[in-house]
Amino acid sequence: MFHAGINKKAGEEFLGQADKLEEACGVFGIYGSEKDVARLTHYALYALQHRGQESAGVAVSDGQGIKVHKGRGLVADVFSDRVLTDLTGHMAIGHVQYSTMGSGLAVNSQPLVCQYLKGNLAIAHNGNLINAQELKEKLAADGSVFQSTLDVEIMVNLIARYGQGLLEEALLKAMRDIQGSYALVVMTEDKLIGVRDPYGNRPLCLGKMDNAYLLASESCALDVLGAEFIRDVAPGEIVVIDQAGLHSRRFLPSVERALCVFEFIYFARPDSNIDGINVMEARRAMGRELAKESPVKADIVLPVPDSGIAGALGYAEALNLFFDMGLMKNRYIGRTFIRPEQNERNLAVRLKLNPVTKLVVGKKVAVVDDSIVRGTTSKKIVKTLRNRGAAEVHLLITSPPVIAPCYYGIDTSERAQLIAAQKSPAEIREYIGADSLSYLSIEGLYRALQQETGFCTACLNEEYSLGIPPEEKLGKHCSEISSRQRKEAR
Ligand code: AMP
């Protein structure tokens, strides 16, 4: 839980970030609509719900002030008709949060709303700062107080410090201090701002609906509202929407783009397009590439729903194999990965997926999933399929092994928990109990994405383009400090 603690290393008092959130989230913003902006934002959050199920929030501005409603749970749990009716205004921002390790304190929900020199400000963030600890210590030493463990609160403090002139200028200065990944939506009483970090690590796109401008983590949120996709916000771009329309500027010298490849592997919704790549097509192509690299003679191809479906389609079509939805997903429980404790996760996998016994009895089954993180899901699936009479179970993974933690917002866990950081593919196959296990190669992944450069692949090859948190560098290697300890150190 959040607490003020003692930084033993420095011997100084500082504000702890014991349960720091991993901020792989979804953000949305709308400016200038005559329609009910709070309701539109909450619909958009439904479309972004896959990006975070722990908390949701909407802040609206009516030109005079900002109102916010946020809370823990799914969008449907947090918003009622009455709440939405009370949120009146002409612009709004929204956020869905994905958190881990029991960190779901209400105070950590977004958007964060505060008052600074120039008035009210609401802000929502997707990403993760790598120099958060350092900045927080500096700010705290200078007298800042913090109420949450959110990186975005650090940004708000920086904006407040630089906030003598235009908000854009304050943001620009703050962006020079922060390092890491961020897609931000910021709202004052009279303007909406979207910002994407210089590496473009997290997605953010721009849309239009009648006279209104929209910003969204993924284009599927624009589709759902019937809005037109205009373009992706460029890496290092700051987009300002106000009465005068839309203005844009680059805030930092451009660096080579490092868009998170895991958005394509797992995180984003297949109907979204990110930086010109359709997620569904990319996943299907990953399946086809895997079929070229590792064909198996199977009687049936089964996807692990939902994230394995596109890859399994590609795999089956490339090899002309029979495809069926032989694993039934219970849609009424959240993603198992989110459950904090291991024993809960095991149960969650059983609750979540059940095979259609008739389809698998006596069959050589090829099971396709997008990734293996801890190995929990795959092990359970293989065991269940064998129990139901499958003759052979082959596991096909449409991404390379996840060998390293992500510091930029996707919760791919601490190294000690990543099975591919600990075991070779042969050992993983044995642990999981499959007849064979094949991963897509990194070259195959690039072929599927039709681009070799421009992606952050740190979790797959440890190339951390955005750098690593200084506290990680203290140890001999990143693995020396678990992410839990890292969180506690904050
Ligand atoms: P595990 O059981 O830990 O091996 O997790 C693998 C399953 O979790 C796969 O079915 C993936 O689709 C899914 N997955 C992969 N990465 C993530 C993530 N960052 N958050 C939630 N689920 C994930």
Range of the domain at 222: 22-257
Q: 127-138 as b/e, with b when 16 or more CB fall inside 10 Å?
A: bbbbbbbbbbbb
Looking at the fold, whether 344 and 402 belong to one and the same domain comes out as yes
Residue 371 CA to ligand 1 center (angstroms) comes to 6
Looking at the fold, whether 310 and 222 belong to one and the same domain comes out as no
Looking at the fold, whether 195 and 67 belong to one and the same domain comes out as yes
Q: For atom 5 of ligand 1, which residue has the closest CA?
A: 373
Global confidence as pTM: 0.89
Question: Using a 6 Å cutoff on CB, does residue 373 contact ligand 1?
Answer: yes
Looking at the fold, whether 363 and 229 belong to one and the same domain comes out as no
Q: What pLDDT shows up at residue 238?
A: 95
Confidence category of residue 331, pLDDT binned at 50, 70, 90: confident
Q: 401-424 as b/e, with b when 16 or more CB fall inside 10 Å?
A: bbbbbbbbbbbbbbbebbbbbbbe
Looking at the fold, whether 170 and 139 belong to one and the same domain comes out as yes
Q: What pLDDT shows up at residue 104?
A: 55
Give the span between the Cα atoms of 93 and 80, in whole angstroms: 17
Give the span between the Cα atoms of 353 and 307, in whole angstroms: 13
Question: Using a 6 Å cutoff on CB, does residue 294 contact ligand 1?
Answer: no
pLDDT digits (tens, 9 = 90+) for 199-246: 999 999 999 999 999 999 999 999 999 999 999 999 999 999 999 999
Question: Using a 6 Å cutoff on CB, does residue 374 contact ligand 1?
Answer: yes
Give the span between the Cα atoms of 442 and 445, in whole angstroms: 5
Measured from the Cα of 413, ligand 1's closest atom is 19
The mean pLDDT of the chain is 87
Looking at the fold, whether 214 and 349 belong to one and the same domain comes out as no
Last residue of a domain, one of 257, 288, 306: 257
Measured from the Cα of 370, ligand 1's closest atom is 12
Question: Using a 6 Å cutoff on CB, does residue 266 contact ligand 1?
Answer: yes
Give yes or no for residue 89 having a pLDDT over 80.
yes
Give the span between the Cα atoms of 120 and 176, in whole angstroms: 22
Q: What pLDDT shows up at residue 333?
A: 67
Question: Using a 6 Å cutoff on CB, does residue 342 contact ligand 1?
Answer: no
Q: Which of 127, 136, 117, 94 lies closest to 21 in space, CA to CA? A: 127
Looking at the fold, whether 360 and 390 belong to one and the same domain comes out as yes
* Pairing state between β 273-274 and 4-7: unpaired
Is 90 within 8 Å of 136 (Cβ atoms)? no
Residue 41 CA to ligand 1 center (angstroms) comes to 28
Residue 473 CA to ligand 1 center (angstroms) comes to 27
Q: What is the set of active-site residues?
A: 25
Residue 373 CA to ligand 1 center (angstroms) comes to 5
CATH number at residue 85: 3.60.20.10
Question: Using a 6 Å cutoff on CB, does residue 265 contact ligand 1?
Answer: no
Q: For atom 23 of ligand 1, which residue has the closest CA?
A: 337
Q: What pLDDT shows up at residue 16?
A: 32
Looking at the fold, whether 312 and 350 belong to one and the same domain comes out as yes
Q: What pLDDT shows up at residue 11?
A: 29
Pick 190 or 471 by higher pLDDT: 190
Confidence category of residue 187, pLDDT binned at 50, 70, 90: very high
pLDDT digits (tens, 9 = 90+) for 304-322: 999 999 999 999 999 999 9
CATH number at residue 405: 3.40.50.2020
- Give how many domains the chain has, as a whole number: 2
Q: Is residue 478 part of a domain?
A: no
Residue 313 CA to ligand 1 center (angstroms) comes to 19
Q: What pLDDT shows up at residue 388?
A: 93
